[in-house]
Amino acid sequence: MLLLAVVTLAAVGLLWWASVLHASAGKDFLNAIATGLLVSAAFGVAQSLLTGRVATEVLRSSIVGEVSRSLSTLNNTYYPTNEFEASVEPSVSFNQLLTADLNESSVFWFRGVSARYTAVRLELNRNANVQANLILPDPAVATSIDGRVDYLYRQGVYPGKSVEEIRSTVSRDIRVGLVGLMEACRRCSSIQLILTPTPLLDRYEIFRNAIWVTMFSAKGTGLVFPRTLRFQENSVIYRMQEAECLQTRHHPGVRVLEIPRLSSDREFMDFYEVVTGARISSQGMTELREAYREFASGFRVKADL
C-alpha cells in the first residue's frame, strides 16, 4: 500500500507540473505519464482490496473449520450421543439401538446385578461369535446386593415392601437371570461370569462402538428404568470403564466362571450350585426356567424385540 501511495503522489505531481506548462508536446507527455500512473494506482488499490478480502475469508473459514472439528472431538469425548430419560416401562427405541450395538460387537462387557434383560438380548442376538463378560454380584456373598436393595427401597420402586422383602426379590431376579444366561449360552461364543462382592450401583454395558451407562445413582422416584446415556467408543468414560472391567476380572477377590454348554438338568443344577453356593432341586430349576420364560416373553413384547 505504501508503494501505491508513492505512485499516486507522483502522478498528482506530474499532473500539477503539466497544468502549469503551455500547450506543447512536453505537456502532453507529462499528462500521459500521470494518467498511466493514476490508472495503475487505481488497479493496484482494487487488487489489494480484493486480495485482502479473499485472504480474510480463507482465514475465517480455516478458523471456523478448526473450531468445529475441535468442538466435534470434544463432544465425542465428553458428551453422550443419546440420552434416554427414566421410565416405568421398557423404551422401544432404547432397546432397538442397544440390540443393534450388541449385534455389531464381538466382545461385550456388562456390569450390573441380575442381567435378566441381557440374557434375553443374548438369546436373540444374531452374532454367534460374541464373547460376553458379565460382572455381577457374587450370589454366595449376601452383602453384594446391598447397594441395589437400598436404591430400590429409597426410590420406592416396590412401594409397601420392606427391605428384606426387596432383598428377596432382588435375589430371585439374580437366580432367574442366571438361568436365562445358561439358556443363552449356546447363542454366544462364550459367556463368562465375573462374580464380585462389591459391584457398582450404576450399570455399564460396553460394546464395540459405544458404552451405555444406566444411572441408578441419579435422582428419581418409583422408576424401574433409570436415566441412561450412550457414549461413543472414543469417549473418556468408554476407555475408563473398559480398563476398570479388565482390572476387576483380574482382581484376587472375584470369582471367574465360564458357563459351560449344558445339556442335562443335572449339569444345570451342578453349575447353579457352583455359582450360588446353594443346591437346587429339579423342581426348583423348572420353576426358575418358567419364571425366566415368562419374564422374557413379557419383555420382548414391551420392548418390541
Go through 200-231 and write b for each residue having 16 or more CB atoms within 10 A of its CB, e for each that does not: bebbbbbbeebbbbbebeeebeebebbbbbbb
> Are 153 and 61 members of one domain?
no
91's grid cell: 423404551
pLDDT at 305: 83
Specify whether 120 is located in the same domain as 34: no
Report whether 144 contacts 137 (CB < 8 A).
yes
Residues 42 and 58 in one domain: yes
CATH label of the domain that carries residue 144: 3.30.870.10
Nearest by Cα to 97 from 78, 84, 109: 84
- Look over the chain and give the mean of its residue pLDDT values, rounded to a whole number: 81
76, 103, 129 - which closes a domain: 76
Q: Exposed, middle or buried, 253 (CB in 10 Å: 0-12/13-18/19+)?
A: exposed
Q: Give, to the nearest 10 degrees, the angle between helix 116-124 and helix 163-184.
A: 20
State whether 21 and 85 are in the same domain.
no
Q: Are residues 97 and 142 in the same domain?
A: yes
120 plus 18 within the same structural domain: no
At residue 134, φ and ψ (nearest 5 deg) are -115, 120
Distance CA(41)–CA(62), nearest Å, equals 31
What pLDDT was estimated at residue 154?
85
DSSP 105: -
Give pLDDT, residue 76: 56
pLDDT at residue 44 in the model: 61
For residues 35 and 92, state if they share a domain. Answer: no
The domain boundary residue, chosen from 36, 55, 76 = 76
Asked if 265 contacts 205 with a C-beta cutoff of 8 angstroms, the reply is: no
Please check whether residues 130 and 142 belong to one and the same domain: yes
**Structural domain that includes position 266:** 80-303
Displacement of CA 79 from its chain's centroid (Å): 8
Question: What pLDDT score was predicted for residue 4?
Answer: 47
Res 171: pLDDT: 93
58 shares its domain with 171? no
Can you give the pTM of this predicted structure? 0.74
pLDDT of residue 36: 62
240-290 residue pLDDT tens? 999 999 999 999 999 999 998 866 788 888 999 999 988 999 899 999 999
Q: What is the pLDDT of residues 147-159, one digit of tens each?
A: 889 888 888 888 8
| Residues of the chain by 3-state class (helix, strand, coil), percent to 5 | 60, 15, 25
What type of residue sits at position 301? V
Q: How many domains does the chain have?
A: 2
Would the CA dihedral through 195, 199, 201, 206 be positive or negative? Answer: negative
Do 100 and 66 fall into the same domain? no
Do 56 and 110 share a domain, yes or no? no
Domain boundary among 46, 61, 76: 76
Cα distance between residue 116 and residue 99, in whole Å: 14
119 in the same domain as 18: no
Strands (DSSP E) found in the chain: 82-84, 107-111, 131-137, 190-196, 203-206, 210-214, 228-232, 255-258
Q: Which residues of the chain have pLDDT under 50?
A: 2, 4, 18, 55, 59, 67-68, 70-71
